[in-house]
Amino acid sequence: MTPKDKPIIKVKEFLYRGKNLDFLKGLDVRELAKYLPSTPRRYILRNFDVVEKFLKKCEKKAQKKKRIKTHIRELVIVPKMVGLKILVHNGKSFQEFEVASEMIGHRLGEFSLTRSKVNHGSAGIGATKSSRSLKK
C-alpha cells in the first residue's frame, strides 16, 4: 500500500439537535433553551441570570488563566463552556474535568461524583467468629 492509497478518515462533525457547535455558541442563553430537553430548558429559563453570571466569571478567569472553581453542581452546561476546565466541588474536594461538546445539556454535578468506591481491607483478628479463637 502506497501513501496515496491510504484511506482518508473523516472526523464526524458534532451536531446537537441538528445544529453545529459554532451556531450554538453564538446563541444567547435563553435562545439556546429552545434546543434543550424539558428539564434543562426549565432550569435555564428560570435561572438564566445565574448561568450568565457564571459565564462572565468563566471569561474573566480564562483571560487571567486562572482555574474556574464552583460549588454550583446543578448548573446546566451550555456551549460557551465547551473546552473550559472547571473544578466542581463534590462535598469534600474539587474535581477537575474538561467540558466536551457531548456534555451540553447535562449538569456539572454529573461529572464530579460525590461517592467513591470503598476498598475494604482484610478482616483483622476478632472480626470473624473463627478468628476469635486464635491465640495471640
Instruction: Please write the tens of the pLDDT for every residue from 70-126.
Output: 999 999 999 999 999 999 999 999 999 999 999 999 999 999 999 988 888 777 777
Alpha helices in the chain (DSSP H): 21-26, 29-32, 38-46, 48-63, 129-132
Judge whether residue 136 has pLDDT over 70: no
Confirm whether 119 is domain-assigned: no
Instruction: Please write the tens of the pLDDT for every residue from 23-62.
Output: 999 999 999 999 999 999 999 999 999 999 999 999 999 8
Confirm whether 68 is domain-assigned: yes
pLDDT of 32 reads 92
pLDDT of 135 reads 62
Confirm whether 5 is domain-assigned: no
Helix (H, G, I), strand (E, B) or coil at 69: strand
CATH code for the domain in which residue 56 is found: 3.30.860.10
pLDDT of 1 reads 57
Report the number of distinct structural domains present in the chain.
1
Confirm whether 131 is domain-assigned: no
